[in-house]
Structure formats: structure tokens, C-alpha cells
Chain A
């Protein structure tokens, strides 16, 4: 029992969960508005990690000191830029075609980003260690037998701040109101004078920026980056979004924390279990509560 339930794993789980939450929010927002599983979302996350990697490397090489906030903004910008570009080039022309063709295109975009990153000689397919000590020096706090690194605290605080910002954006601003309107009924929203494409672009920007931030946080906390790093976290974050109820923002947060915590506990129990638990959760959710924990059932219209 002691091996399974301890505070250390809970803290690790919350740390992992807050990173998943940032990715899952992008998934769930894009799904809520365009009804598209954006498979390339995990790759925006990877792009964010690489952008901050190169910036930090550049800064240490030249001896500049770039403020932490600026690095954050750069990686968020890189993620957002990639998301907007993907939307513009690949998803927009397919907006009114069958939904599955957009899904396949998303898979294609994801593959394209991954392989072009590993094919470009400056990046390459190999693992790189992230210069996290140059970003912020690590400190470790010890409480009894439990240790908390300052990275874990940063992860949790940053993702909480971004989630509060998102909640504010969606609940209390005009853009957020427009987003909610588009996700409920595209045609009616259009008739009310909402520029749908603009709202979709904003959604991609916000989702991409969150993924970019998650990329930086991952680089800092688990300092190893490679071009395929986005695939698994992306999938798990998507499953977290499904678990919470896809298209539902609080649901994505809740699902991500459940996911992160159950994954660390399962891994500490047995490593094979940790890899498979995400998919096991997914299948169970889809069997017993396909609309997710906080999602609502929508009757099918003919």
C-alpha cells in the first residue's frame, strides 16, 4: 500500500497533470469550435519546446540575459504561429468537406511537422538535453521524505495562471462569448454577425500558445527533447479531454489532473501499466460515459 499511495507520487502526478491540462485545453477548444481532432496539436507543443531550446542556447552562447517571461512568450508565439499556419494551409480549405477528411489531413500535418523537424540537419532526429539550468536554476525543497523541485511549482503555477486567464477569456470577454456562440451553432453565430474564421483563428492562436507554453514547461521539468516528443503527450492530453468531456474547458482540466495522477501512480506500480493506463481509461470512458465526466449528452438530430 505504501508503495502505491504516497505524497511524492501525488505531487509528480499533479505536475504532469498540469502540463497535460495545457495541451488538453487546446484540443478541447479546437474540437469545441471546429469539431476537429487536431492531431498536430502535440507537435505545436514540440515546436514550443524547440523554440525555447534554441533561444536559451542562443542566449547562453552570446552571453545575453533574456528574461524568463520573454522566453515564455517566444515559445507560446512559436506554438501559436504553427497552429495558425496549419489552420490556414491545411484545415481551412476542408472546413465544409466531410469531417473525416480534415481528420486525415490533421494526421498528415502532424507527420509532416515531425518528419521535417527530424529531417532538417539543424534539428535532427536525435535527443537533445534541454538547458533547464540556464533557464531557471533548480532548487529542491524537502518536506519529510517528500521532495518538491521548484520546477514542479513553476509548472503548477504557470498552468494555473494560464487556465485562469482562459476562463476569464471565455467567460467574460466578447471574444469568449463569440467562441461559445460558434461552438453551439455555427450558422446562427454567423447570422448574428460573428466572423467565424476570425474566431477559429483566435482559438487556434490560444490553443497553440498554450501548447507552446506546455512545451517549454516540459523541456524544463523533463529535460529531454526530440522531434517525436509531442505524439504521446498529445494523445494522452486528448484522452484527458475526452475523459473530462470534449469541448468542455473545466472538464479538460479535471481530466488532465486525473490522467496525470493515475499515470504516475500506475507507473510507480509497474512501468508497463503506466504506458497502457491512458488507453485503458479511454476505452472505459467511451464505454460507460462517452460524453465524458462533465460533458452533456446531445441528442442526435436528423
Chain B
């Protein structure tokens, strides 16, 4: 009997979920590792959504965390400051979802408004505008006292648990995958390969670019909302340029235009980042005369980015996918 590949994919996800859940239940993996897994899953959403813009559509956005900030702060404002809900009552999860959706839609709208005028620009200029956008968002947040300004938004209830993050991640990845392998996805890829040629065959490049940008921003907002309800704080520095670089490294390490690569890179680099933290701590204890600061982590990150670009420009997976992520119809 032939089993539908999508069902198979969902089945694997379910197994992964049950394994992690049971391992945590019986203390084989502790809450710290579970937390890193949660973070990785949030990074999966961020990376895949940035990949939709940078990898599949061939634009160059480096303000992705700005959208995440919009999602995080808006959903955080609703749950923390307006409704003041907490996870003890199951009904509140419904409100949390509503807040998440509102945050994501707000991020999507901002992405649309930003994309409409700026996506006529090419590569470099777009990079600078999106970078500027990220900085503007950060400056604005820093100056609004209602959301805590530079102190950050504190006391956000912890709604994001493993189950919720896992389900939302699966849905987000599947939605983006379906977009990528649809007619629209072909339009995105044609813009990436050659904008002029795709314009000549009748692809409305501006509309498709704005479309990709809006979807990417929407999911970034979703991830931001999840992130702040996981860490229980939203802080302007989290969403600065460095935050975007983290995600950017994941996209390029995994491969521009590969969802599989993004997922692997998000997990790998999040774990590597935490591992480096422990390693540096260990080295620091070993050499008391030579303090080894946490900055070395970022030095290694930067060196990694340069190395990837110099020696493996296409990233880990290139444009390839694992078979399980490709829809069956696409193969014929």
C-alpha cells in the first residue's frame, strides 16, 4: 500500500515529539536541553521564513528581527499589559493564540508597508533599507515607556511550551513549504534566477516580491511572539542587528533555498551556540590569568560566516531538499 508522503512526514514529526516528550518526562533530557530544543524550533521558523525572502526569492533582507520584534511586542502587550492573563487557566491559551495571531498580522502588515515602496530596489539598497528598518524599530521600542523602553518588556507569562512551539513550527514550515512548491513558489524562484527574464515571461515581480516579504514578515512575527512567551522577556537588544545575523548565518549555513538545510542549521547552530557557551566557560575556568569572555562566541560565529561564504558559498544543502519534504506531485 502506498502511504501519502505528507502523512509519513507528520508521522515522523509525531514520533519525534513523543520521544522528546517522554525523554523529558522521565528526566533523560533535562529542562535546560528542552529549552534549547524550544529555542531551536523558534529559530526554525525564523530561518525558514527568512529563507523564503533571501533564499527562494533572492532578495536580501537583513532586518528580519525587526519583524520578530513587532510580533513579540504586540503579542506581549496583549497578554501582559492588556489582558494580564496567566497560563493557569486553559481558556487563556485561546487568548494567547489570538495575541500571537494579532502580533503576526501586525508584523505582516509592516512587512507589506515596507516592501511596497522598497522592493523596487535591488540587492544592496534593499539590504540597507531593511537594516535601517530594523534599527528604526529598535529605536522606537527604546523610546516607548509603555513597553519598558530600554529595560524591555518584563513579566511576560510563559505560554510557549514544547507542545505549542512544536505544533506551530510544524504548521509554519509546512505552509512555507507549500508556498515554495506552488505556482507562487515558481514565481519566487524565477525572480531569484533572473528578474528580467521572469518579468519578460509575465511574472509581476514587484507583487511577488512584496508577497514573499509579507509572508516572511508574518512568520517572523509569529516566531517573535513565541520567543518572548518562551523567554518571558522581550528586550530591544534581542531584536537588533546581531539577532538578524544569527538567523542569517543559519540561512546561509543551511543553504539558500533549502528548507531542509534551514531546519538542520537552526538546530545545529543553536546547539553549537549553547555548546560554545559551556566550552568557553570551561576554558575560562582552566586559564585564570587569561579571562576568556563570551565575546569569543560571536568571533567564532563571524569567522564561521566568512568561512561558509569563502569555501561553501551554497551552504550545507545547496538548493537540495530531503525527499520527505518535497510534495509528491512535484516529482513527476
Contacts and interface: CB of A to CB of B under 8 A. Distances in A.
A196 B60 CA distance: 28
Contact of B310 (A105, A118, A280, A302): A105
A3 interface: no
Interface stretch (A95-103, A152-160, A168-176, A202-210): A95-103
B193 to A, nearest CB: 11
A286 B299 contact: no
Contacts, number: 109
Contacts of A104: 248, 252, 305, 309
Interface residues of A, number: 43
20 contacts: A99-B123, A103-B123, A103-B124, A104-B252, A104-B305, A105-B305, A105-B306, A108-B305, A108-B306, A112-B299, A115-B296, A119-B296, A121-B290, A121-B291, A238-B128, A280-B136, A283-B117, A283-B132, A286-B129, A302-B196
B295 A119 contact: yes
A288 B123 CA distance: 18
A94 B305 CA distance: 14
B136 A276 contact: yes
A235 B299 contact: no
Contacts of A121: 290-291
Contacts of A125: 293, 295
A90 interface: yes
B50 interface: no
Interface string A119-131: 1010001000000
Contacts of A280: 136
Interface in B282-332: 290-291, 293, 295-296, 298-299, 301-303, 305-306, 309-310, 313
Interface of B: 60, 62, 117-118, 121, 123-125, 127-129, 131-133, 135-136, 139-140, 143, 196, 241-242, 245, 248, 252, 290-291, 293, 295-296, 298-299, 301-303, 305-306, 309-310, 313
Nearest to A283: B129
Contacts of A99: 123-124
A98 B140 CA distance: 35
B1 to A, nearest CB: 46
Interface string A222-259: 00000000010001001100100000000000000000
Given A90-B310, A118-B295, A111 B301 contact: yes
Contacts of B291: 121
A63 interface: no
A27 B12 CA distance: 50
B126 to A, nearest CB: 9
Contact of B127 (A103, A272, A300): A103
Contact of A279 (B123, B136, B245, B310): B136
Chain B binding surface SS class: helix
A93 B302 CA distance: 17
A90 B128 contact: no
B84 to A, nearest CB: 29
A108 B313 contact: no
A109 interface: yes
Contacts of A51: none
B116 to A, nearest CB: 10
Contacts of A90: 306, 310
Residue in A97, A119, A272, A283 whose Cβ sees the most chain B Cβ within 10 Å: A119
Interface in A278-302: 278-280, 282-283, 286-287, 290, 300, 302
